[in-house]
A and B are shown apart, each in its own frame.
Chain A
């Protein structure tokens, strides 16, 4: 079955540590995205990638880094520079193009807690 998979579902990090969240899709989508969700707020875009080996900062990229070495994979690293990393992180992917519906498919999310 085609889909988008995030792992782990729950992640605990000590202050000062970097952690990497995994996102894999087998939908053959070119575009992938990372969003952060906090209670009472909409999803905020961290990074996005339109094609392999290319990615762009979103609205809240500070303290995060990404890579896009393969079409299927878009891992997100939460660095120690991110001052308030506890949140629910959602990965998404979509087709590219000017004319068709740009439905985004979401993973099940990773809940990161700093302890």
Chain B
């Protein structure tokens, strides 16, 4: 079946880059997403990448997609304490029912 996997925890120093990794199994995925969840809140879309792209950059965020290995990563440059949150990778297919399969989430802790 479809599955999305992420490591559960990442700790980085303020100012360093963070790289959060994700693997997925469904080769028919059309869009891949990164969502951010702050404590006690809903999910907020950070960025997404279409499956025919290798890379997408949006300010401090860089998404890399290796479709052959079904590997997605999110790089956050110059990580700040406000970036501390849980980051979810999700894969989705549009058309009719837009089913999203979420990973378990990576908790990013940023320390001074």
Contact = CB atoms under 8 A, between A and B. Distances in A.
Interface string A78-115: 00000000000010101111111111111111010000
Contacts of B33: 103
Contacts of A6: 42
B43 interface: yes
Interface residues of A, number: 30
A97 B104 contact: no
Residue from A96, A97, A101, A102 whose CB has the most chain B CB atoms within 10 Å: A102
B94 A106 contact: no
A41 B92 CA distance: 18
Interface string B46-86: 00101000000000000000000000000000000000000
Q: Would you call the interface of chain A mostly helix, strand, loop, or mixed?
A: loop
A103 to B, nearest CB: 5
Contacts of B13: none
Contacts of A31: 97-98
A43 B97 CA distance: 17
B41 A109 contact: yes
A28 interface: no
B10 interface: no
A105 B102 CA distance: 14
Contact of B104 (A41, A103, A108, A109): A41
B100 A98 contact: no
A76 to B, nearest CB: 15
Given A100-B94, A101-B31, A104-B98, A43 B88 contact: yes
Contact of B102 (A43, A99, A100, A108): A43
Given A42-B104, A101-B50, A101-B94, 14 more contacts: A41-B104, A42-B4, A42-B88, A42-B101, A43-B100, A48-B99, A50-B97, A56-B97, A100-B94, A106-B35, A106-B44, A107-B42, A109-B41, A109-B42
